[in-house]
Amino acid sequence: MSQLTLALDIMGGDHGPPVILSAALKAIRLHPDFNFILCGDRRVIDPEINQLSEAQRSRVIVRHCEEIVTMSDAPAHALRHKKDSSMRRAIEAVQTKEADACVSAGNTGALLSLAYYLLKTLQGVDRPALVSFMPTAGHHKVLLLDLGANVNCTCEALFQYAVMGSVLAELMMGKTKPRVALLNVGEEDIKGNTLVKLADEHLRSVPALNYIGYVEGDDIFTDHADVVVTDGFTGNIALKSSEGLAKLVASEVKKQSASNVWSRIRARIALPLLKSIYNRVNPDQYNGASLIGLRGIVVKSHGNASADAFYYAIFQAMQEARLRVPEKIKHKIETVLLEQL
């Protein structure tokens, strides 16, 4: 298996280097075909890297950075004034082809701006989109995009998201003709705003896509579609709402299970079932939103991700690199555009 290199922004995220370094060390130990460029403060990184064997350390480059993009930094400020930040250096490694992909848990707006500026979009793509997997019924997954990269979208942008999401579903989910749907307030043709109706009309005219029409919010989790397309404003709210609901349910189950002796007994009996359900919907394994449509691979981890969750983001980035996702999206976009000429 060929070697791949991943650049990591060690200083990003709510919990900083301890969580990200823990995930990086796990990936280094488990995947001998992965090499790493660790971007951040060497004084923090070196003591952790010294825990590795000599062979493992040989697969790691530490790139010292004097600056950090904080969660409060405006994207424009990070772009203009923090040119030695760990986030920028990680993306630059992808830009120069030194790395096959990069991952950051840092400031989302800054990451989007830096990636867009340094890597540029593929020809035929106006703006990149954030996309992530979500669980559905029947042990399947669905791709939802955009998750917040672009809160204001055009009809053409939604069309591009559909094409890119279809490619990603083919590659990452093994779907030969992924079912693509538009998120709407109803399934009927008369429902929806002008933007959604125009996008629907456009998508129906493209035979290269397996477009199935509208889906409502509750259909995201029913395995009705493989790809659900929406604008970044709606997509971000849908994502955060579902994450909040999952946390609420987990919290309530834990609270009710400890309310009295009989509840604790029932909870112990049901524990294997509860663990099985939780393991399937655990947000950690869906951590890692890909910024697709760029000429390089960038994966955004949740800022508050645990070490296990960040590891999933690392693995997601490496899978995309191995499958050459940007190259496949470029080919699909060009094919669909040519069909419309």
pLDDT tens, position by position, for the chain (341 residues)? Answer: 578 999 999 998 888 899 999 999 999 999 999 999 999 999 999 999 998 999 999 999 999 999 999 999 999 999 999 999 999 999 999 999 999 999 999 999 999 999 999 999 998 898 999 998 888 877 778 999 989 888 888 999 999 999 999 999 998 888 889 999 999 988 887 788 889 999 999 999 888 899 999 999 888 888 889 999 999 999 889 888 877 877 777 777 777 777 777 667 666 766 665 565 555 555 555 677 899 999 999 999 988 888 988 999 999 999 999 999 999 898 888 887 666 64
Give the pLDDT score at 156.
92
- Contacts of residue 22, defined as CB under 8 A and 6 or more positions apart, other chains included, come to 307, 310
Give the pLDDT score at 341.
46
What DSSP element (H or E) covers 279?
helix 261-281
Domain boundaries, the chain: 1-125+293-341, 153-283
| Angle ∠(181,159,301) on CA atoms, nearest 5 | 75
Per CATH, 1-125+293-341 and 153-283 having the same topology is answered yes
CA distance to 22, 68, 94, 107, 326, per residue, from 88 (Å) = 21, 9, 10, 12, 20
Contact 159, 125 (CB under 8 A): no
Give the pLDDT score at 157.
92
Give the pLDDT score at 274.
57
Q: Which two tokens stand for residue 122?
A: 């593929």
**φ and ψ of 102, to 5 deg:** -140, 155
Q: What is the CATH number that goes with domain 1-125+293-341?
A: 3.40.718.10
Give the pLDDT score at 175.
86
pTM, rounded to two decimals: 0.87
Pairing between β-strand 179-183 and β-strand 289-292 as defined by DSSP bridges: unpaired
**Is domain 153-283 in CATH 1.25.40.10, yes or no?**
no
- Alpha carbon dihedral 268, 270, 276, 277, in 10-degree steps, equals -120
Give the pLDDT score at 286.
60
Q: Which two tokens stand for residue 213?
A: 């029409």
Give the pLDDT score at 276.
59
What residue ranges in 149-259 does DSSP mark as E strands?
179-183, 210-215, 227-229
Half-sphere exposure of 159 (CA within 13 A, CB side): 23
